Chains A and B, each alone.
Chain A
Amino acid sequence: MSAGRGIGGPSHRAAWIFLAPFALVTLVFVAYPLVQSAVLAVQQTYGPGTKTFVGTKNFTDMSGDPVFWTALRNTIIYTLGSLFIQLPLALALALALNSPRLRGRGIYRLIFFSPQLMGLVFVSILAALMFEKQAGLVNQSLHAITGGLWSLDFPWLESHVMATLIIISLWMYVGFNMIYFLAALQNVDQTLIEASEIDGAGVLARFRHVVIPAIRPVGSFVIMLSMIGSLQLFELPFVLLEGTGGPRNQGLTVVMYLYQSGFEVGDLGYASAIGWVLAVLLIGLAIVQLWIIRREER
């Protein structure tokens, strides 16, 4: 190997110089925090200054911590709500808006997508007002529509917190996911559809055997995105429930519990342990999904 081609040679020196900013940022903002959070996960802290080694205690405590399990259960319920209510609705809307027979499609697209233009915190504040008892728009509307049968005291934010969160997220994200599906639908090869029509395939058969396989890559991406976003849910319940998990922690999510443990209680060790569990969960789900996709592709 010549001197110029060695690791310290001139051509490599240029490569190192160009790599340096990225490497520095990665080391400082990714690698170091990752290592530090792993170290913290085996410590108990009172802020970064006061700490003591506790080994696996944070993890064993977590396994017996009912609040953590409540947070995890809530997060999973919300994720399932996102996957099984939000995405089918988004696909249905995309199919409807993809129909050439529908007039004013552009307007509908804008209407369904527009909630995305609002900040999540702002949406949460508005939602808190809308789901209030007595004066809230939701109870008032349902009361009027049902001719007074719906109680103005219906406790959305007291006994139905998760349902409320899912409804708000439907409003927020159905239009957003619809755009992905719409883009995928518009790229479905029309000749395949026409060929299947000639072969006598009905609407359902065409949807199942032509449309679904064609939009599968986008569908997988949207599922992955929704799943990761749902498992990381924080701002919406945090603002809606004023920083608490709501009555009986019905709205507490894993990331909220991480935040409470780390930044309200000051136990960064326990928060790090929660973070690692969440990371393992996310990585595990991503691997399972990739495995399913690859198996179907074969």
Chain B
Amino acid sequence: MRLVTLITAARGLSLGLWIMIALMIGSVAVLFGGQRSDGDAVVMWVFSPTHRDLYQPMLERAGAEVGTPLDMRLMSIQAIERRMMSGFFSGLPTADLIECERAIVGRAFTGPLEAVGFLDITDRLRDEGLLEKINAPSFGPWTSRGRIFGIPHDVHPVMLAYRADLVEAAGIDLSGVETWDDFFRAVRPLMGDPASPERFALGFWYTHLDNVEVLLLQGGDGLFDQNELPTIATERHADLLARMVSWCVGPDRVAADIEDFSGAGHQQRIDGYGIAYFAPDWMCSIWKEQIPQIGGKMKLMPLPAFEPGGRRTSVRGGTMLGIARDSDRIEEAWEYAKLLYTSPRVAREMYQLTDIITPVTSLWDDPIYDEPDPFFMGQPKGRMYIDLAPHVPARSSSPYNRQAVVLIRDAAVSLADHARRTRTYDAEGLRPEAMRLLTQAEARILRVMERNAFSGVAGGGR
């Protein structure tokens, strides 16, 4: 009887209501009937279409070797970060293999070591001899509290790329340049009238987080020590910060604020507004794709050192491949990780497509790295980066690294204000204020770290 009443009532419903009900049922079906994966496959998340294209051709053969197929899924880096962290936090399934960029991996290391969602692969790397086969500094960003959680994808040494067409047309020889002071002195004539420069020696600004870190890593001893405590407020870092700011302020400034990835920044590169730029290996392919107009006009050289005999390179960016600790297919994932990240074919194609050199040192003798690159006036670009790779500075995986760099950037902004206010434009004069600001920055980062009840830093500090 009640059913009959219900049916009669349903007949009286309007068409609009029926459509809404149908949409609701459809939405639920779509939501819960979404993408299904092959239950036996090793699932891998990648954020770069180029990486996916590199790995795809070898998957069939690799699948036969490993005995389990690989289901590769391309996602944005933000999506990987959200899903990875949600999975790690709540114990929900993630991919078995996760390709992860340095900017997002630190979050995974914030909690206690036993809560890190990646598999600790330190012993596997040691047992299989991979620790020796891979460029040592490349493990840094993926190492937390002495344990390694990912296989490095790259080295990313940084060189200085300069407008060789302008430099050589002016008869300037940079081959003898060893330090930043040498470099600025050498290219000074190209800047034109000091009162109204036409161009600047270096595309750098103290607000650019990544480039500030590049220089701190090049000249300093790292922002965190082996115990992952901050080492920001040192005389050395104060000196570096004072020098960076002195490049950007005052009537004799040598640097200009030229964005790395914006259209305006690219146009300034084409116009020759900046003479030189920081060039990690991955930047080369971006320039080739986005500003081909400067092709054949650029040359690379090692970064000038801060003082004679100092380090001639730095490092920027980085990617790793990690295995989810809760994966059901850890062994298969490990086999895939080794195949993809230590394969000579992938290393070679990665260089051809992206200009990125492999961290696997045994593959560095591949002649492809000696081939002349027309974009850089025929220089053997790959070999130049490889020559610098062993000297890349070590980096910390501290989850507070980004915050530390942000605080140092803020200190630089305050220092620049101080310089303009007091008309102190030389590094020597700026150093005491730089030290004071860095001491404040270090106190702040320590305060943040001490709040973390899980990291073991609470109550610590220097």
Q: Are B89 and A135 in contact (CB under 8 A)?
A: no
Query: In the bound complex, how far is the Cα of B264 from the Cα of A64, in angstroms?
Result: 41
B451 touches A266 (CB 8 A): no
* Partner pick for A133 among B111, B257, B452, CB 8 A cutoff: B257
Residue interface mask B255-299, A partner, CB < 8 A = 1? 001010011100110000000000000000000000000000000
Nearest-CB residue, chain A, relative to B410: A248
Q: A266 touching B107 by the CB < 8 A rule? A: yes
Asked if B85 is at the interface of the complex by the 8 Å CB criterion, the answer is: yes
Given the complex of chains A and B, what is the CA–CA distance between A248 and B412 in angstroms? 9
Is B58 at the interface (CB under 8 A from chain A)?
no
A 32-50 binary contact with B (CB < 8 Å = 1; else 0): 0000000000001011111
Count how many chain A residues have C-beta atoms less than 8 Å from C-beta atoms of the other chain. 30
Residues A264 and B111 in contact in the complex (CB < 8 Å), given A47-B88, A48-B89, A135-B264: no
A248 vs B418: C-alpha distance when bound (angstroms): 14
Residues of A with C-beta under 8 A to B410 = 247-249
Residue on B with the closest CB to A66? Answer: B444
User: Are B414's CB and A248's CB within 8 A?
Assistant: yes
Q: Roughly how many angstroms separate A66 CA and B112 CA in the complex, as a whole number?
A: 26
A46 and B259 contact, Cβ closer than 8 Å, known pairs A158-B207, A247-B409: no
**Residues of chain B contacted by A44 (CB below 8 angstroms):** 451-454
By a CB distance below 8 angstroms, the chain B residues around A48 are 89-90
Q: Please report the C-alpha to C-alpha distance between residue A270 and residue B453 in the assembled complex, in whole angstroms.
A: 12
Residue numbers in A under 8 Å from B264 (CB-CB)? 129, 132, 134-136
Choose among B91, B406, B413, B447 the residue that contacts A158 (Cβ–Cβ < 8 A). B413
For the complex, is A190 an interface residue (Cβ under 8 Å from B)? no
Q: Which of B207, B267, B452 is close to A135, meaning CB atoms less than 8 Å apart?
A: B267
Interface status of B417 (Cβ within 8 A of chain A): yes
Please, which residues of chain B bring their CB within 8 A of the CB of A66? 444
**Distance in angstroms between the alpha carbons of A50 and B89 in the assembled complex:** 8
Q: Can you list, as one digit per residue, whether each of A142-162 has a CB less than 8 Å from chain B (1) or not (0)?
A: 000000000001000011000
Q: Quick check: B110 and A266 within 8 Å, CB to CB?
A: yes
- Report yes or no: B413 in contact with A248, Cβ–Cβ below 8 A: yes
List, in ascending order, chain B residues with CB within 8 A of A47's CB. Answer: 85, 88-90, 111
Nearest chain A CB to B450 CB, angstrom units? 9
**Nearest-neighbor residue (CB-CB) of B87 within chain A:** A47
Q: Known contacts A159-B417, A266-B110, A266-B111; decide if A49 and B89 are in contact (CB<8 Å).
A: yes
* Docked complex: B442-460 residues within 8 A CB-CB of A: 444, 447, 451-454
Within B83-113, the residues touching A (CB, 8 Å) are 85, 88-91, 107, 110-112
Hey, which chain A residues are within 8 Å of B111, CB to CB? Answer: 46-47, 50, 266
Contact among B112, B268, B399, B454 with A134 in the assembled complex (CB-CB below 8 Å):
B268
Q: Is the CB of A50 within 8 A of B454?
A: yes
Asked if B353 is at the interface of the complex by the 8 Å CB criterion, the answer is no
Contact yes or no, B110 A265, CB < 8 A: yes
Whether A270 contacts B451 in the complex (CB less than 8 A), given A47-B90, A49-B89, A159-B413, comes out as yes
Check if B74 is an interface residue, CB within 8 A of chain A.
no
Q: Please, which residues of chain B bring their CB within 8 A of the CB of A247?
A: 207, 409-410, 413
Q: List residues of chain A with CB within 8 A of the CB of B454.
A: 44, 46, 50, 52
User: CA separation between A251 and B193, bound complex, in Å?
Assistant: 36
Whether A153 and B257, one on each chain, are in contact in the complex, defined by CB atoms closer than 8 angstroms, is: yes
Q: Across the interface, which residues of A come within 8 angstroms of B444, CB to CB? A: 66-67
The answer to the question of A30 belonging to the interface, with a C-beta cut-off of 8 Å to chain B, is no
B451 near A267 with CB under 8 A, answer yes
Q: Which residues of chain B have C-beta atoms less than 8 A from A158's C-beta? A: 207, 413
CB of A46 within 8 A of CB of B413, answer no
A135-B263, A266-B85 known; 17 new pairs, CB 8 Å cut-off, are A44-B452, A44-B453, A46-B110, A47-B90, A48-B89, A48-B90, A49-B89, A54-B453, A129-B264, A132-B259, A133-B257, A135-B267, A247-B207, A248-B414, A265-B110, A266-B107, A266-B111
Interface residues of B (CB under 8 A from A): 85, 88-91, 107, 110-112, 115, 207, 257, 259, 262-264, 267-268, 399, 406, 409-410, 413-414, 417, 444, 447, 451-454
Q: Which residues of A pack against B, CB within 8 Å?
A: 44, 46-50, 52, 54, 61, 65-67, 129, 132-136, 153, 158-159, 244, 247-249, 264-267, 270
4 smallest A-B Cβ distances: which pairs? A47-B89, A46-B111, A135-B264, A247-B413
